[in-house]
Amino acid sequence: MIILGSDHAGFELKEAIKKHLEEKGLNCIDKGTHSTDSVDYAPIAVKVSREVLANEGSLGVLCCGTGIGISIAANKVKGIRAACCSNVFCAKMTRMHNNANIIALGGRVTDIDTAKKMVDIFINTQFEGGRHQRRINQITAIENDEIDEI
Ligand code: RB5
């Protein structure tokens, strides 16, 4: 399941990605926004983040103007690893090495075709585990204020 969300600046990109994924038969949940009217990105980031955490195995797609603000907000939610990506290599590597559960994209940065490729590779790439799991565990420890254990 793919959970999507955007602010106004990412709305058109989010809609294009949703259509692309639905055409592939993927189950999508759209947490808004639903127009180009100006809206704040942080509440959308939190809604998508909570939905991703509530649905094991799901992944999220967040879009704002740059992908930056909405990823910063999502990364404040415990358990979320949101990667702001602008190329296919990073979209792949952030699944393999960071076990990212959300990809964040910029509607003012990335063209729609590249964004579709990034999302496709993001959702079709598996986490490699191994030494990368140790690093994820360290991030989780920071999140839980267990920094003595690092
Ligand atoms: C909205 O104008 C813009 O600031 C927002 O979409 C995003 O780019 C913030 O990081």
Q: Is the pLDDT of residue 119 over 90?
A: yes
Higher per-residue pLDDT: 149 or 95: 95
- Where does the pLDDT of residue 126 fall: very low under 50, low under 70, confident under 90, or very high at 90 and above? very high
Tokens of 148: 């003595």
Domain ranges of the chain: 2-143
- Where does the pLDDT of residue 99 fall: very low under 50, low under 70, confident under 90, or very high at 90 and above? very high
Tokens of 105: 């994209």
Q: What average pLDDT does this structure show over 2-8?
A: 99
Give the integer Cα–Cα distance in Å for 4 and 64. Answer: 11
Q: Identify the three-state secondary structure at position 147.
A: helix
- pLDDT per residue as tens digits for the range 70-95: 999 999 999 999 999 999 999 999 99
The pLDDT of residue 148 is 72
- Where does the pLDDT of residue 141 fall: very low under 50, low under 70, confident under 90, or very high at 90 and above? very high
Q: The domain 2-143 belongs to what CATH superfamily?
A: Sugar-phosphate isomerase, RpiB/LacA/LacB (3.40.1400.10)
Q: Residue 77 to residues 20, 48, 66, 105: CA-CA distances in angstroms?
A: 27, 10, 20, 18
Q: Using a 6 Å CB cutoff, which residues line ligand 1?
A: 7, 9, 41, 64-66, 68-69
User: What is the Cα Rg of the chain in Å?
Assistant: 15
Average pLDDT score over the chain = 97
Q: 109-120: b or e for each residue (b if 16 or more CB lie within 10 Å)?
A: bbebebbbbbbb
Mutate to test the pocket of ligand 1, among 64, 108, 109 (most ligand atoms within 8 A of CB): 64
Mutate to test the pocket of ligand 1, among 12, 66, 72 (most ligand atoms within 8 A of CB): 66
Q: Is 52 exposed, middle or buried (0-12, 13-18, 19+ CB in 10 A)?
A: buried
Tokens of 76: 């404040």
